[in-house]
């Protein structure tokens, strides 16, 4: 992907047609002022800037349906958008499409603690969904650093991951049922709560992870779990990524599914957080090369601390753990997680970075990091890397950092070169070039290199069936061809 290439703009809708779109939501909820549009047009890493004649903010499923019916009749392209926290450009109107912001669809329709489900609209933020579940003595287990901004609809559309995927899975595993508005305006009502429904194809999984290219998700039935009665968190220094993987094995051998999060971090990321966040403090007195952040939770009310201590003790005895500390309070637990969650943000403050959201088999994480580090150092001497992420599910955020002697633009001009060497190693280990962020426009043009060609043919066929006029988020996900 060439970040400098601007796609050709689409012709804007005629004024009379644009007025019809605006009339559906009302002038109050149609954003046409360029300055007011700006928050919807720039993604959070400032890599993509969009343009649109109008941002429509529907307040009901009926309004979404009317917008799509009109758009389909006149073949007007639209881009659905949630909290605008996506990282691959999928939510940005690159060619002047109409933006449909779902943030006003923010109702929690029902909480059913007996069925362990919650029905929410697409614009409900992850934070509000988790709070509503907690009020019902339940847990919605997905957790992302952007929880205050990202929305449930956006999470489902990108099949977002998070720090609790080790046990609870990613967005796809949290969805029991969906409500989706199709390209022609029809509404697919699949909001059931059933664990068993064997009446044909599981249609909801067509739309989860499709990034708004097949339909617009307007509501979701979410799976809840009992709120844990005890939680313990430990921060430990380990000798290497291999030691981190070995510690995951020890932890799961002791506690199985009670190990809810298992994160790995490189030292340079810790230093970046310490430098640029006045609140954070290094949890350990000495400096070490690699760290793990382990969280365990249980319905048991006692014995969990002792179990976590036994895990770390075994790690020390086997020469894997160099030092460790435990969160002694909720505030300290939050302080540990704050460091990990700030990794993405502080990278912007220490120079340009070429980011990779990849996954490989867990056992191959150490080999991948060693091989990728060498390949990048050979490609651009002086480049360092900052690997971190979700060891428990094989998802590593592998970031190449701008060398001191290179300008930001000079380094970013090597984006495709760096991707090529990193993704070749991912492919070698039978991994994925997108673990949890999606494809969007950033990875669209290279997807054919890494995706099975039969799978791509099927994807194109599904797109043609559900969106024959190509109005839904055109130019995203599917490579040309």
Number of Cβ within 10 Å of residue 355's Cβ equals: 21
Nearest one of 208, 226, 224 to 216, comparing CA atoms: 208
| Rounded Cα–Cα distance for residues 107 and 82 (Å) | 14
Q: Which domains does the chain have, with CATH numbers?
A: 15-104 (3.30.43.10), 108-226 (3.30.465.10), 230-344 (3.30.70.2190), 351-436 (3.30.70.2740)
Quick one: 199 exposed, middle or buried, by C-beta within 10 A (0-12, 13-18, 19+)?
A: exposed
Give alpha helix (H) positions in 15-160.
15-25, 34-41, 61-74, 126-135, 152-158
User: Which H or E run includes 420?
Assistant: helix 415-428
423 three-state secondary structure: helix
Locate 321 and state its tokens. Answer: 């753990």
Distance of alpha carbon 334 from alpha carbon 156, whole angstroms: 26
The span from the first CA to the last CA of the chain, in angstroms, equals 16
Check residue 43 and give its pLDDT: 85
Round to whole Å and give the CA distance between 132 and 431: 36
Find tokens 């150092």 and name the residue: 377
- Is the CB of residue 222 less than 8 Å from the CB of residue 176? yes
Question: Kind of pairing, strands 98-101 and 78-81?
Answer: parallel
Instruction: For 366-386, give one letter per residue: b (16+ CB within 10 A) or e.
Output: bbbbebbbeebeeebeebbbb
The number of residues making up the chain comes to 481
- Secondary structure (3-state) at 186: coil
CB atoms within 10 A of CB 268: 16
Inter-axis angle of helices 241-255 and 365-379, nearest 10: 160
CB atoms within 10 A of CB 255: 20
Q: Is 451 exposed, middle or buried (0-12, 13-18, 19+ CB in 10 A)?
A: middle
| Dist CA 69 CA 78 (whole Å) | 11
CB 43 within 8 A of CB 90: no
Rounded CA-CA distance 312/63 in Å is 55
CA distance 153 to 192: 17
Cα–Cα distance for residue pair 436/359, rounded to 1 Å? 9
Question: Which stretches of the chain drop beneath a pLDDT of 50?
Answer: none
| Unique residue bearing structure tokens 């779109």 | 21
Query: How would you list the strands of the sheet with 55-56, edge to edge?
Result: 30-31, 55-56, 98-101, 78-81
What is residue 290's predicted lDDT score, i.e. its pLDDT? 98
What local confidence, expressed as pLDDT, does residue 294 receive? Answer: 97
How far apart (Å, rounded) are the C-alpha atoms in residues 254 and 6? 53
pLDDT in tens, 83-126: 999 989 999 999 999 999 999 999 999 999 999 999 999 999 99
pLDDT at 471: 98
**φ and ψ at residue 297, rounded to 5 degrees:** -145, 155
pLDDT at 170: 92
pLDDT in tens, 402-452: 999 999 999 999 999 999 999 999 999 999 999 888 999 999 999 999 999
Task: Dig out the tokens for 10 from the structure.
Answer: 């689409």
- The pLDDT value recorded for residue 5 is 62
Q: Cα–chain-centroid distance for residue 294? A: 20
Q: Where are the alpha helices (DSSP H) in 221-298?
A: 241-255, 267-276
Q: Nearest Cα to 39, choosing from 90, 82, 88?
A: 82
Closest to 266 (Cα-Cα) out of 343, 193, 209: 343
Token pair of 199 as six digits: 């009446």
- Sheet strands (E) in 308-458: 321-326, 353-359, 384-390, 395-401
pLDDT at 2: 53
Q: Enumerate residues 6+ apart whose C-beta is below 8 A from 413.
A: none
* 52: CB partners within 8 A, 6+ apart: 37, 40, 41, 79, 93, 96, 97, 98, 99
């Amino acid at each position: 992907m060439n970040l400098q290439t601007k796609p050709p703009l689409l012709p804007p809708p005629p004024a009379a047609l644009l007025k019809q779109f605006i009339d559906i939501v009302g002038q109050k909820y149609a954003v046409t002022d360029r300055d007011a549009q700006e928050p919807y047009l720039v993604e959070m890493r400032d890599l993509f800037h969009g343009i649109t004649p109008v941002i429509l903010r529907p307040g009901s499923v009926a309004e979404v349906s009317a917008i799509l019916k009109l758009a389909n009749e006149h073949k007007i392209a639209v881009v659905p958008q949630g909290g605008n926290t996506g990282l691959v450009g999928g939510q940005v109107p690159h060619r002047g499409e109409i933006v449909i912001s779902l943030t006003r669809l923010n109702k929690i329709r029902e909480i059913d603690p007996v069925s362990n489900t919650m029905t929410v609209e697409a614009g409900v933020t992850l934070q509000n969904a988790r709070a509503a579940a907690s009020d019902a003595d339940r847990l919605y287990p997905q957790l992302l650093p952007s929880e205050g901004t990202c929305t449930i609809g956006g999470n489902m559309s990108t099949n977002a991951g998070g720090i609790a995927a080790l046990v609870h899975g990613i967005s796809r595993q949290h969805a029991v049922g969906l409500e989706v508005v199709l390209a022609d305006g029809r509404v697919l009502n699949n909001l059931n709560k059933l664990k068993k429904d064997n009446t044909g194809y599981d249609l909801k999984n067509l739309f989860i992870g499709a990034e708004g290219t097949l339909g617009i998700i307007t509501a979701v039935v979410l799976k809840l779990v009992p709120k844990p009665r005890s939680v313990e968190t430990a921060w430990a220094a380990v000798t290497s990524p291999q030691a981190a993987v070995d510690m995951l094995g020890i932890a799961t051998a002791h506690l199985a599914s009670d190990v809810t999060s298992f994160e790995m971090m490189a030292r340079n990321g810790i230093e970046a957080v310490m430098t640029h966040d006045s609140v954070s403090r290094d949890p350990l007195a000495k400096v070490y090369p690699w760290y793990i952040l382990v969280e365990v939770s249980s319905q048991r009310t006692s014995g969990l601390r002792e179990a976590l201590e036994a895990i770390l003790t075994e790690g020390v005895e086997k020469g894997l753990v160099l030092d460790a500390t435990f969160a002694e309070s909720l505030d300290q637990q939050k302080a540990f997680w704050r460091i990990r969650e700030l990794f993405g943000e502080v990278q912007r403050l220490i120079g340009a970075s070429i980011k990779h959201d990849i996954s490989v088999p867990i056992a191959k994480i150490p080999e991948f990091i060693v091989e990728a580090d060498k390949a990048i150092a050979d490609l651009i001497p002086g480049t360092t890397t900052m690997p971190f992420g979700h060891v428990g599910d094989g998802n590593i955020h592998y970031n190449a950092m701008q060398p001191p002697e290179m300008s930001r633009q000079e380094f970013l001009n090597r984006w495709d070169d760096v991707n090529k060497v990193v993704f070749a190693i991912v492919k070698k280990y039978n991994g994925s070039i997108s673990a949890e962020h999606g494809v969007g426009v950033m990875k669209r043009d290279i997807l054919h290199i890494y995706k099975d060609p039969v799978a791509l043919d099927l994807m194109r066929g599904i797109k043609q069936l559900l969106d024959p006029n190509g109005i839904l988020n055109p130019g995203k996900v599917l490579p040309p061809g």
